[in-house]
């Protein structure tokens, strides 16, 4: 097996998933302001270092997605952030897109930018220790959106990004996120996600991507957050699995879901249900940002010095999500807040 195929497998090995700690400074500032903490480079590092040095990293976090600022920071022990992550047996990764911008030609929608100069940035990140990367495309759902233009242009960018990343000997995480904002029902999310995934794999194929050396980071199939109809976890799992089976080539080794605004428990429960019925070769795992960090961030903000408390909460969430990758989670386990 070649090196990138091996890395992809390690990132989502059974019991493990990915910690998405790649919030840009703008997003991190929003997150810190929500808990009344000033957003400085030092505070952003303090919170992240607290998570990256928690015990839960060892058994449940196969990879951490970093932001440009973080991958270049030194921790309190003098190690670089990638060195700290590696010391826990986890793989450092890096977000390489430069954000979703207004799509010319369909200005209500977004196109993800960051291809210019990417080859050079990738070489720098590799030297800093990164072994995988992430690029996120976003799609809105309404009666007329997403447009064919948004679907095609974002898929094209994801494929060009993936080709450059594999050339640089790293694993590309391909993240096409269909947002859950809106009144649409679960069937509409299913249809839109199917079209998006079809186009992505058409472009990835055209760009000669080795799919065995990639990870897909999709949304789950959910009703819109303002939908009149709600669906239970079993229905969500069934629809999500069907959509992925129909649209993702079987060479892809792992699928690591984003949480996309689900609560921590919803994200864990839905992944657990997906794994209960998973009859594919895909390793179904997580790449959560908010659903791994929300409670830990609140605790940290209450008492920045109480590192143990914050780590205990993060360890618990990591463990719960780790269990859901083998369908071994249940609600009773949420009561045992142990490391």
Whether 183 is catalytic is: no
29 is a contact residue toward ligand 5MM (CB under 6 A)? no
- Residue 239: half-sphere exposure toward Cβ, Cα within 13 Å: 22
What secondary structure letter does DSSP report for 220?
A: P
> Which residues inside 107-146 make contact with ligand 5MM, applying CB under 6 A?
136
Q: Which is nearer to ligand 5MM, 45 or 246 (CB)?
A: 45
Contacting ligand 5MM (CB under 6 A), which of 8, 20, 54, 283? 20
Q: Which is nearer to ligand 5MM, 136 or 319 (CB)?
A: 136
Beta-bridge mates of residue 134: 95, 173
Contacting ligand 5MM (CB under 6 A), which of 6, 24, 142, 210? 24
Instruction: Give the three-class secondary structure for 143.
Output: coil
- Of 271, 179, 190, give the one whose Cα is nearest residue 225: 179
Q: Going along the chain, which residue ranges are E strands?
A: 17-20, 61-66, 91-95, 100-102, 110-112, 132-139, 171-178, 215-216, 254-257, 283-288
Q: Which is nearer to ligand 5MM, 288 or 314 (CB)?
A: 288
CA distances from 9 to 29, 255, 284 (A): 33, 10, 11
Whether 175 is catalytic is: yes
Beta-bridge mates of residue 257: 286
**Interatomic CA distance for residues 175 and 168, integer angstroms:** 19
Q: Which is nearer to ligand 5MM, 67 or 282 (CB)?
A: 67
- Of 195, 127, 209, 199, give the one whose Cα is nearest residue 164: 209
> Which residues inside 157-186 make contact with ligand 5MM, applying CB under 6 A?
177
244 is a contact residue toward ligand 5MM (CB under 6 A)? no
Cβ at position 25, least distance to ligand 5MM in Å: 8
Choose the binding region for ligand 5MM from 23-31, 42-50, 123-131, 156-164 (rule: CB under 6 A). Answer: 23-31
Q: Which is nearer to ligand 5MM, 23 or 273 (CB)?
A: 23
Residues at the contact surface with ligand 5MM, assessed by CB under 6 A: 20, 22-24, 27, 99, 136, 177, 258-260, 288-291
Q: Which sequence positions are flagged as catalytic?
A: 175, 217
């Amino acid at each position: 097996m070649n090196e990138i195929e091996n890395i992809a497998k390690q990132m989502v090995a059974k019991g493990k998933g990915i910690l998405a700690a790649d919030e840009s400074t703008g997003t991190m500032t929003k997150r810190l302001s929500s808990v009344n903490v000033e957003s400085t480079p030092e505070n952003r590092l303090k919170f992240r270092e607290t998570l990256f040095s928690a015990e839960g990293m060892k058994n449940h976090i196969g990879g951490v997605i970093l932001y440009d600022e973080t991958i270049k920071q030194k921790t309190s022990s003098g190690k670089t952030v990638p060195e700290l992550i590696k010391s826990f047996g986890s793989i450092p990764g890096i977000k390489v897109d430069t954000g979703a911008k207004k799509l010319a030609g369909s200005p209500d929608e977004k196109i993800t930018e960051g291809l210019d100069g990417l080859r050079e940035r990738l070489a720098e990140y590799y030297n800093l220790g990164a072994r995988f990367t992430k690029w996120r495309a976003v799609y809105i759902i309404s009666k007329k959106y997403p447009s064919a233009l948004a679907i095609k242009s974002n898929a094209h960018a994801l494929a060009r990004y993936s080709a450059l990343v594999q050339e640089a000997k790293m694993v590309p995480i391909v993240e096409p996120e269909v947002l859950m904002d809106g009144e649409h029902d679960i069937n509409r999310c299913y249809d839109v996600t199917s079209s998006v995934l079809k186009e992505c794999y058409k472009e990835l194929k055209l760009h000669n991507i080795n799919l065995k050396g990639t990870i897909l980071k999709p949304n789950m199939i959910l009703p819109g957050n303002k939908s009149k109809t709600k669906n239970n976890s079993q229905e969500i799992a069934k629809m999500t699995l069907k959509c992925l089976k129909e649209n993702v080539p079987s060479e892809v080794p792992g699928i690591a879901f984003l949480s996309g605004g689900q609560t921590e428990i919803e994200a864990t429960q839905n992944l657990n249900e997906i794994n209960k019925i998973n009859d594919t070769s895909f390793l179904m795992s997580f790449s959560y940002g908010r659903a791994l960090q929300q409670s830990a961030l609140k605790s940290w903000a209450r008492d920045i010095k109480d590192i143990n408390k914050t780590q205990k909460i993060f360890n618990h969430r990591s463990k719960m999500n780790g269990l859901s990758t083998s369908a071994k989670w249940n609600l009773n386990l949420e009561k045992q807040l142990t490391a």
